[in-house]
Amino acid sequence: MRVQSMGCVFAVAAGTLVSSYSIADQIRQLSLKANDLVFDSTGGAIYASVPSSAGVGRGNSLTRINPVAGTMGSSIFIGSEPNRLAISSNNQYMYAGLDGAGAVRRFNVLSQTADIQISLGFDETAGPLFADDIAVMPGIPTSIAVSRRAEGLSPRHQGIAIFDSIAQRGSVSGVAPLNNRIAFANPSLLLGLDTESATGSFRRITVTGAGIGSQSGLGNALGTGAGGTFTFDGSLAISSSGRALDPITPALAGTFTGANGLGGVVADLTNDRVFFLNNSTIQVYQRSTYIPLGTIEVSGAANGKSLIRWGDDGLAFRADGDRVYLVNSSLVPTPGAGMLMGLGGLLVTSRRRR
């Protein structure tokens, strides 16, 4: 196994673990049908939303994964056809969109139990509305924003609603403009991205005690089109096309040239990294300089989605063929953090690429 980084190739025996870091990529796969993934940094576990088609024992559950051991744990029933997931910043609550019930179910991470179920409403033509995306309000783990969608309608977007536990705030955004993907910049400002059309419009949306307030469009500031996505890392909105925008100013902060993250974008402020998943390739950039640091190739993976960070040097995503991939790489931590320390007598060689 190899990891390409800054012109060098570091090699070790396949499957070797070095302290809590890896010198080369370690790539493991689990056989699991998953719709989405989140990481609970407090408990050190990944959770997957698993549809009914996974069968008895796993279907319609949140399935816990131990990424260090590379094993699957318990599957806890969450409701009919769980899909989109979100977790609060304090890891207290997880939220799962239920495509079989037109609802969002809340999961208490500490007690490992599902509690309240939030109905998302109905469309007179299409019927129940579903969660296209879920964002948990910063600092308020019991409040969420839900971008709602309808089946059989075009566009599918049916506005954003704010919920405090099961209570919906009165003001809901309209069908247009489209805000399929959402993220909170702060409790009073929501960011929305049109992922249905080629325009890829991006906007700022105010949130008040009454619900959704005014919206201000920023055009195609993130440079995305249909199917694009973005993440907000606390100060920058970073898109699948590689643009980084300060949404408060608002102003373009920089561009990760050559990035393609249609399978997911993850920013890691602690390690000064941004990761873009393109099918089976994870592109790694330094966040502060926008410089590419290397790529991680995951052989055999197809149509990778739901990229997440876990642990010291871990990444994970789901892919076709009912697979969840767990990746450890020296490209994840800050250079020098454990890479050449604690080798336990292992021989580590490096050679320049020509």
> Any idea what the Cα angle at residue 265 is, between residues 44 and 128, rounded to 5°?
85
Pairing of strands 36-40, 26-31: unpaired
C-alpha distances out from residue 25 to 68, 116, 259, 328, Å: 14, 40, 20, 5
pLDDT for the residue numbered 52: 98
Query: Mean pLDDT, consecutive 10-residue segments, the chain of 354 residues?
Result: 39 32 72 98 98 97 97 97 98 98 98 97 90 98 97 92 97 93 98 95 97 96 95 97 96 97 97 97 98 96 97 97 97 64 30 28
Cβ-based neighbour number of residue 208 at 10 Å: 13
Please indicate, yes or no, whether the overall pTM of this predicted structure exceeds 0.85: yes
Residue that the structure tokens 């570091």 belong to: 10
pLDDT for the residue numbered 180: 96
pLDDT for the residue numbered 336: 54
pLDDT for the residue numbered 348: 29
Each domain of the chain, given as residue ranges in start order, spans 1-25+256-354
Tell me how far apart the alpha carbons of residues 279 and 297 are, in angstroms, rounded to a whole number: 10
Q: Does domain 1-25+256-354 have CATH number 2.40.10.480?
A: yes
Peptide bond into 128 cis (omega under 30): no
> Any idea what the Cα angle at residue 137 is, between residues 221 and 265, rounded to 5°?
45
